[in-house]
Amino acid sequence: MLDLGLSVLFSSIIFVVFKLFVKTGVETPYAIVVNYLVASMVGFFFYTKEINLSEIPEKPWFWGTMLLGVLFILVFNLMAAASQRSGISVASVATKMSLVIPVVFGVVVYNEKLGPLKIIGIVLALAAVYFSSVKEKDIPLTKNIFILPALVFLGSGIIDTSIKFLEETRVPIEEFPLFSATVFASAAMAGLIFVAVRSFKHKLKFKVKNVLGGIALGVPNYFSIYFLLAALQHKALNSASVFTINNVAIVMSTTLLGIVLFKEQVSIKNWAGISLAVISIILVAYF
């Protein structure tokens, strides 16, 4: 449970850093690329064995990291677009409700068992994510507004499911740091290509605060993935429990951090969501 708690902690720190980007004027797309470079270097630093770069492409998980790297960049940009066009609350709900995809995958592919109370807990988790994220003033819903959130939902779910699959079938526990570092290196390469393409329309300007923002984001970003992988190794919790607790706890903690650090307004619906989150975590973790 410690690994899962640390994953939630570092994921919550990411939320705080993103909020500080807005306040300090850090340009998120460029900071994101630096963040992936930093996260990759952190992973290589914590890998205790000798690193032979020529051997990495021969690892059974290598091509999976290439896919994940591209997905990380793609889903991030979809999230940004969904936030701008559909609203932050809609994008947040789409991202966190994606926990359904790895949960169903674990049940279907790995025959993971879900008792009645765990099923109730997962249903409550989805309700908790919605009520924790919804705002009093939401944008009117139209057919086109659902396209981007739907893509975010699918992309986030595929990322979590891919991480679970690779952890289960390809990655030895001693290679977690190397695997995580390679995922982030792949994301960094995809991000550099994205920035290069973007530079044709927007001239690049080097800013120290973008680099510092990327460093502040990269360290917790690496550890959020590393400890999630470690939590998935926990014998007492199946992947459905891990992803449910992880996503719901992040929604709950970031909502509370928003109140304490940024004086965000929280509605009755939001408090109801936090309460449901606590109940769902208890049901999923202890039954």
Q: Tell me: pLDDT of 79 over 60.
A: yes
Most confident of 39-43, 119-123, 278-282: 39-43
Are the C-beta atoms of 182 and 65 separated by less than 8 Å? yes
Q: 58: number of CA atoms within 13 Å, CB side?
A: 5
Are the C-beta atoms of 210 and 34 separated by less than 8 Å? yes
Q: Tell me: pLDDT of 58 over 60.
A: yes
pLDDT-derived band of residue 50, with 50, 70 and 90 as boundaries?
A: confident
Task: Convert the pLDDT of each residue in 186-239 to its tens digit.
Answer: 999 998 988 888 788 877 778 899 999 999 999 998 999 889 888 888 877 788
CA distances from 284 to 41, 206, 217, 270 (A): 35, 47, 30, 21
Q: Tokens 């994101």, residue?
A: 32
Measured CA to CA, the distance from residue 13 to residue 177 in angstroms comes to 20
Most confident of 47-56, 154-163, 202-211: 154-163
pLDDT score of 66: 93
pLDDT score of 203: 78
* Full DSSP string of 103-124: HHHHHHHH-----HHHHHHHHH
Residue 258, token pair as written in the block = 């928003």
pLDDT (average), residues 262-280 = 81
pLDDT score of 264: 75
Global pTM reads: 0.81
Alpha helices, DSSP H only, in the chain?
Answer: 2-24, 28-46, 62-86, 88-96, 100-110, 116-133, 147-169, 176-198, 208-232, 239-262, 268-286
pLDDT score of 112: 79
pLDDT-derived band of residue 141, with 50, 70 and 90 as boundaries?
A: low
pLDDT (average), residues 21-38 = 88
Residue 78, token pair as written in the block = 């979809």
Q: What angle do CA 95, 100, 106 make, to 5 degrees?
A: 130
Are the C-beta atoms of 4 and 237 separated by less than 8 Å? yes
Percent of the chain with pLDDT strictly greater than 70: 90
Residue 129, token pair as written in the block = 């994510």
pLDDT score of 183: 92
Residue 45, token pair as written in the block = 């630093």
pLDDT (average), residues 5-29 = 87
pLDDT-derived band of residue 86, with 50, 70 and 90 as boundaries?
A: low
Q: Tell me: pLDDT of 142 over 60.
A: no
Q: Tell me: pLDDT of 76 over 80.
A: no
Task: Convert the pLDDT of each residue in 251-262 to its tens digit.
Answer: 778 878 888 888
pLDDT score of 184: 92
pLDDT score of 211: 94
Measured CA to CA, the distance from residue 176 to residue 173 in angstroms comes to 5
Residue 154, token pair as written in the block = 């699918």
Q: Tell me: pLDDT of 149 over 60.
A: yes
Name, in order, each residue with C-beta under 8 angstroms of 146's C-beta and a sequence gap of 6 or more. none
Measured CA to CA, the distance from residue 149 to residue 134 in angstroms comes to 14
pLDDT score of 214: 93
Q: What size, in residues, is the chain?
A: 287
The packing angle between helices 208-232 and 147-169, to 10°, is: 60
Q: Tell me: pLDDT of 134 over 70.
A: no
CA dihedral 181, 244, 247, 34 (to 10 degrees): 10
Q: What is the mean pLDDT of the chain?
A: 83
Are the C-beta atoms of 156 and 8 separated by less than 8 Å? no
Residue 156, token pair as written in the block = 């986030």
Give the domain ranges of the chain. Answer: 2-286
Measured CA to CA, the distance from residue 186 to residue 56 in angstroms comes to 12
Q: Tell me: pLDDT of 37 over 90.
A: yes
Residues 16, 269, 87, 104: is their CA dihedral positive or negative?
A: positive
Q: Tell me: pLDDT of 167 over 70.
A: yes
